Amino acid sequence: MKDILTIAAADLVPDAQSILAAQGVLPGGNLRAEIVAGAETARELFVELAEPKAIMKEVSARDFDSVYRGNGRNSQPALLDFILPRASHLALAAATVGGTVSRRITELFEGGDYVLGAMLDAAASGGADRASQMLEQLFYGRLTATHEIEPIDEVYCYSPGYCGWHISAQRQLFDHLRPEVIGLTLRESFLMEPLKSISGALIAGPATIHQFDDTFPFCAECRTRSCRARMGRAEKRN
Amino acid sequence: MDLLANLSQSLQDGDDEKVAALTKEALAAGMSAKQILDNALISGMTVIGNRFKAHEIFLPDVLLSARAMYAGLELLKPLFLKDDIPSRGKVVVGTVQGDLHDIGKNLVSIMLKGAGYEVIDLGNDVPPERFVDTAVAQGAAIIGLSALLTTTMPVMSQVAALLKERGLTGRIKLIIGGAPVSDAYAREIGADAYGFDAVKAVEIVDRFLMRQ
């Protein structure tokens, strides 16, 4: 069964500090009033323009395997090779904040308002990430409500293009999930449109399966390092 | 503080209205457009670039100064055309075919213009031939490529191959940048340099064009 969700933009909008941090602004940094105001304006614009939608579908391990293998281009080994055998439940998911925000970002840059353009871009990226976290929570809530997983278990979203899962598997993910119903399309380069969107697998299981050493060959080239923050959060909870 | 120092400081403060007013004042006082550009606007942006590199200021500060720079540049441009003063150099930039991410490319474009270069921004989803054809047609010395996807990185090597095929390697420098790109990848595909960020990209362009 597929869930199609319409999310309130206000529930996804990042706080001003996160928007500033995305542009390298350190906490406590001495900022001009115009910059601080820009972050607030970006938040308001995001709430006004974003049209967030999401889709989620629980899948069997067998169905997921065909999505995960893609065209056989994953790194050997990839992170999910170690996680999947110990996962208890799997779902495919995608979310978008819509195309209007991206169009406004372009307009702001073209009109010379670079600061607000960059802030809105950061707000939209943060909003898409937050949508991914909401899907994790939704899947977790559903599984715990039906007592299918232990309260100590965790659900995390992993996406093609990261952690050795080749981005070309987006094709199989799209074929299986059909996120076109929420307005998402896939280009030949496996880029999603609208641009500020996420897709991936929601993987449920004991918290320990999501803990790993970042010593895979692909870790050296990873610039996001979001796995470390995620593991930190999990450790605190447990 | 003299007029040009005041103008440079206003640019560093990101005050676009003051930069426009002081640029007009400098022109009215008989200063040449080139004098104003070199001794106030570019020198101000150089200070901003150095402070950003030293982590004293943040990206939004740089963008405010870039906007102020443009406020002055817009007033000087007609004079450059009238007096036939060449730009510091031409750079073709764009996000490679298949890729729609353009925030990084936009930042590079903003910073290069702020440094006084003429930037021909081809936008995003640009095929390899268009980069090379445009650079040749416009007499650009540098092509700057941006990509955010591992799947679109190979387009960068296609541009490098095209330059080689047309005997343009070395004559037109190729700079690449974007999240999945690295120094090693630049060397692997035969690009001339890798720009980690917009400020670094300007430094590389400065270096290449000063050598010519």
DSSP string across A175-201: HHH-GGGGT-EE-TTS-EESSSEEEEE
Contact A25 B66 (CB under 8 A): no
* Residue appearing with tokens 């942006």: B45
Interface of A with B (CB under 8 A): 20, 23-26, 29, 31-32, 34-35, 38, 105-106, 109, 112-115, 117-119, 121, 161, 167-168, 187-191, 193, 195, 221, 223
The pLDDT of A185-210, averaged and rounded, is 93
B208 close to B192: Cβ distance less than 8 angstroms:
yes
The pLDDT of B176-193, averaged and rounded, is 93
Please state the ipTM of this predicted complex: 0.85
- Give, rounded to a whole angstrom, the gap between the first and last alpha carbons of chain B: 35
pLDDT score recorded for residue B160: 97
B180 close to B95: Cβ distance less than 8 angstroms:
no
Distance from CA of B194 to the nearest CA of A (A): 15
Q: Output phi, psi for B148, to 5 deg.
A: -110, -5
Q: Is residue A178 scored above 70 in pLDDT?
A: yes
Say whether the peptide bond before residue A14 is cis (omega within 30 degrees of 0): no
Q: State the Rg of chain A over Cα.
A: 18
Contact B58 A26 (CB under 8 A): yes
pLDDT score recorded for residue B129: 97
Q: Output phi, psi for B24, to 5 deg.
A: -60, -40
- How far apart are the C-alpha atoms of B102 and A196, rounded to whole Å? 12
Residue numbers in A near B107 (CB within 8 A): 114, 118
Of A23, A109, A114, the CB nearest to B58: A23
Question: Between A33-49 and A99-110, two packed helices, what is the crossing angle to 10 degrees?
Answer: 140
Residue A185 has a CB neighbour count (10 Å cut-off) of 12
The pLDDT of A82-94, averaged and rounded, is 96
- Measured over the CA atoms of residue A164, residue A170, residue A171 and residue A174, the dihedral's sign is positive
Q: Considering only the top CATH level, what class is B3-83?
A: mainly alpha
- How far apart are the C-alpha atoms of B199 and A26, rounded to whole Å? 18
Residue B149, CA distances (Å) to A60, A61, B118, B188 in order: 29, 28, 27, 17
A54 close to A182: Cβ distance less than 8 angstroms:
yes
Contact A32 B67 (CB under 8 A): no
Question: Who contacts B192 (Cβ-Cβ below 8 Å, separation ≥6)?
Answer: B170, B173, B174, B175, B186, B208
According to CATH, the superfamily of the domain at B90-210 is Cobalamin-binding domain (3.40.50.280)
Question: Who contacts A37 (Cβ-Cβ below 8 Å, separation ≥6)?
Answer: none
Q: Which residue in chain B is spatially nearest to A120 when comparing CA positions?
A: B103
DSSP string across B46-85: HHHHHHHHTTSS-HHHHHHHHHHHHHHHHHHHHHHHHHTP
Contact A25 B98 (CB under 8 A): no
Tokens of A179: 């996120």
In what order do the strands lie in the sheet containing A89-96? A2-6, A53-59, A89-96, A197-205, A154-158
Domain ranges of chain A: 2-237
Q: Is residue A5 scored above 60 in pLDDT?
A: yes
- How far apart are the C-alpha atoms of B136 and A72, rounded to whole Å? 40
Question: Who contacts A195 (Cβ-Cβ below 8 Å, separation ≥6)?
Answer: A99, A102, B100, B101
Distance from CA of A40 to the nearest CA of B (A): 14
What value, to the nearest 5°, has the Cα angle with vertex B119 and ends B23 and B138?
120
Q: Given pLDDT bands bounded at 50, 70 and 90, which one contains residue A237?
A: low
pLDDT score recorded for residue B211: 59
Percent of chain A with pLDDT over 70: 97
- Domain boundaries for CATH 3.40.50.280 within chain B: 90-210
Average pLDDT of chain A is 92
What's the distance, CA B146 to chain centroid?
Answer: 13
Q: Given pLDDT bands bounded at 50, 70 and 90, which one contains residue B179?
A: confident
pLDDT score recorded for residue A221: 75
CATH classification number, A2-237, choose in 3.40.109.40, 3.20.20.30, 3.40.50.2300, 3.50.50.60:
3.40.109.40
Helix (H) or strand (E) holding B146: strand B142-146
B125 close to B75: Cβ distance less than 8 angstroms:
no
Say whether the peptide bond before residue A194 is cis (omega within 30 degrees of 0): yes
pLDDT tens digits along A125-162: 999 999 999 999 999 999 999 887 887 789 999 999 99
Residue type, B107: L
Contact B64 A35 (CB under 8 A): yes
- How far apart are the C-alpha atoms of A125 and A97, rounded to whole Å? 9
pLDDT score recorded for residue B212: 59
Residue type, B100: L
Establish if B64 touches chain A: CB-CB under 8 angstroms: yes
pLDDT score recorded for residue B7: 97
pLDDT tens digits along A25-35: 988 778 889 99
pLDDT tens digits along A204-217: 999 899 988 888 88
Contact B58 A105 (CB under 8 A): no
